[in-house]
Amino acid sequence: MSVSAPSRLTPVGRMTPFRAQRIWERNYLVYRRLWKIIFTGFFEPVFYLFSLGIGLGALVGDVAGPGGTLVSYTAFVAPAMMATSAMNGSVLETTFNIFFKLKYGNTYEGILTTPMRPLDIAIGEIGWAQLRGALYSTVFLLVMVVMGLTGSWLAILTIPGAILIGFAFGAVGLAACTFMRSWQDFDLVTLVTMPLFLFSATFYPLDVYPAALQQFIKISPLYHGTELLRGLSLGVLDWSMVGHVAFLVVMGLIGGIIANKRLDGLLRK
């Protein structure tokens, strides 16, 4: 169904965040019948935690955690798996699902016949991706608590930390999705997320890597998310966390701006 540009113009006075909530309501109505799909991105990090954290952890012993404190290998890996879970949930939501809505479902063409704008869609979909990431992270935190892998009450702050990770990856994922032309392009998603998963100080402390590789790891967004959640989980706070938060916020804002402009161009054709 084709929609003319004039019908998509919206009164300026209405607040975008409230309109964006309609996207959440729609997604909720869809997913309440497909709730099993939501949990698919949660199990992979949990399996890694049990296989590597517990199995390999029995052989590795204690490792250097934030601030140089020695922690069990399982407690070291668990926050990284939580960050990975938030990343997976957000990326899956803003790439595969959004691509189908854009290219095949014509979902947004129908939405734009209402007072909603492309900006509302961008905010709504990124926000929904954050909710999915937050769901994964909350359940994962419960697993960590049951296993005794949290070292401080500050571990509760890993949930807003994971939401921030979801915002950063969700915004960039949505921006990347607008450039994809076919399902084959999704191989590039795995090509990016897999190295991030393996080389973001996820399984080993940063100082284990060669000096040259450490510089590349420090620009990995998952590294910043992992270090943030690891410090909160173990109750070790320092000023580097401000840098981790700033990196993720800037990443999310840049991704959101690009996603909004790209969606506006694609949906107004």
Percent of residues, the chain, with pLDDT higher than 90: 21
For residues 269 and 181, which has the higher predicted lDDT (pLDDT)? 181
Please give the backbone phi and psi of residue 136, each rounded to the nearest 5 degrees, phi first. Answer: -55, -45
Residues 178-196 have a mean pLDDT of 87
Does the pLDDT at position 69 exceed 60?
A: yes
Return d(Cα 178, Cα 183) in angstroms, integer. 12
Return d(Cα 225, Cα 60) in angstroms, integer. 24
Q: What is the pLDDT of residue 11?
A: 43
**What is the pLDDT of the chain when averaged over all its residues?**
81
Residues 228-245 have a mean pLDDT of 91
Return d(Cα 216, Cα 84) in angstroms, integer. 18
Return d(Cα 31, Cα 241) in angstroms, integer. 34
pLDDT tens figures, 71-106: 888 889 889 988 988 888 888 888 888 888 888 877
- CB burial of residue 127 (10 Å; 0-12, 13-18, 19+): buried
For residues 22 and 156, which has the higher predicted lDDT (pLDDT)? 156
SS3 63: strand
Does the pLDDT at position 31 exceed 80?
A: no
Please give the backbone phi and psi of residue 72, each rounded to the nearest 5 degrees, phi first. Answer: -65, 150
Return d(Cα 235, Cα 228) in angstroms, integer. 11
Among 94, 92, 95, 63, CA closest to 80 = 63
Beta strands in 13-135 (DSSP E): 62-64, 70-72
- Given a contact cutoff of 8 angstroms between Cβ atoms, the answer to whether 229 and 135 are in contact is no
- pLDDT confidence bin for 148, thresholds 50/70/90: confident
Percent of residues, the chain, with pLDDT higher than 70: 86
SS3 97: helix
Question: How far are the Cα atoms of 14, 214, 219, 220, 250 from residue 196, in angstroms, in the given order?
Answer: 39, 13, 10, 7, 18
- pLDDT confidence bin for 2, thresholds 50/70/90: very low
Q: How many helices (H) and strands (E) does the chain have?
A: 13, 2
Does the pLDDT at position 250 exceed 90?
A: yes
How much is the pTM?
0.84
Between 23-27, 208-212, 233-237, 251-255, the lowest mean confidence (pLDDT) is in 23-27
Residues 209-217 have a mean pLDDT of 87
